[in-house]
Structure 1
């Protein structure tokens, strides 16, 4: 069921502390941790603690938690001191966009030039 932890979800296991991660921030509704394959000097994932497969389903069901994820993305950028130079917040939705973990998550990327368009 949407919103409930999924036993086969890597990010749900990180929230439950069953899988280790380098956690940098935590709130009642979100968890932020360093990406294990960073694409920039700052590459942190901000996830909702509730399980939804992608950003669109999270936003439709839990707009307040979606706002929490975006707020925490800004806090991560400030903590890593990339808020002044610029950073990117990316939600990949669907395998064609590069989503590989089916738990909504935002990538916070910064600390180097980020050209547009990406990819």
Structure 2
């Protein structure tokens, strides 16, 4: 299902021109309009899902193999040394467009900011860690 008010739905479904590098029945992959590095791409499902937590499992099952295929192509064709695969869910996690999307960010040996997708590390007491384990254990 498409959301007519969603910019990424419009991009994924061809309503707005893009620099597309891949397309199939479920996804369109475009170069990011504000890239972090050369070749930074977005995997966009053609159907609207606000984020990973709302997406259909069958779409998610296809997304990671597609990311792998594209990442291997980026390494072969762009000569990047690595790839960041980034997917944010919710504003607190940095999501700014509420349509599921996966960033593929080629990383090069001479990248000036290798901490682009980094985070600061925190320490927790054994008691705090035990409490988290108890809450999250399934």
TM > 0.5 between the two?
yes
Q: Radius of gyration: which is bigger? A: 2
TM-score computed with the length of structure 1 as normaliser: 0.83
> SS of 1:99's equivalent?
coil
Q: Conserved in 2, the CA contact under 8 Å of 1:35 and 1:44? A: yes
Paired positions, count:
113
What residue in structure 2 maps to residue 10 of structure 1? 7
Partner of 1:35: 32
1:101 maps to 2:97: yes
- Please state whether the residue corresponding to 1:42 is helix, strand or coil: coil
Q: Report the alpha carbon displacement of residue 105 of structure 1 after superposing the two structures with TM.
A: 0.4
Q: Are the structure 2 counterparts of residues 117 and 100 from structure 1 closer, same or farther at C-alpha, using a change threshold of 3 Å?
A: closer
Cα 1:92/1:81, change in 2 over 3 Å: same
Higher helix share: 2
Aligned to 1:118: 118
Answer 1 or 2: higher relative contact order, Cα 8 Å, separation at least 6. Answer: 1
Query: Residue 67 of structure 1: CA displacement?
Result: 2.0
The offset of 1:116, in angstroms, is 7.9
Per-residue CA shift, 1:4-51, capped at 9, x if unaligned? 211110111112211111110111111110000001223100011111
Question: Which residue pairs with 1:67 in the alignment?
Answer: 61
Query: Any unmatched runs of 5+ in structure 2?
Result: 120-138
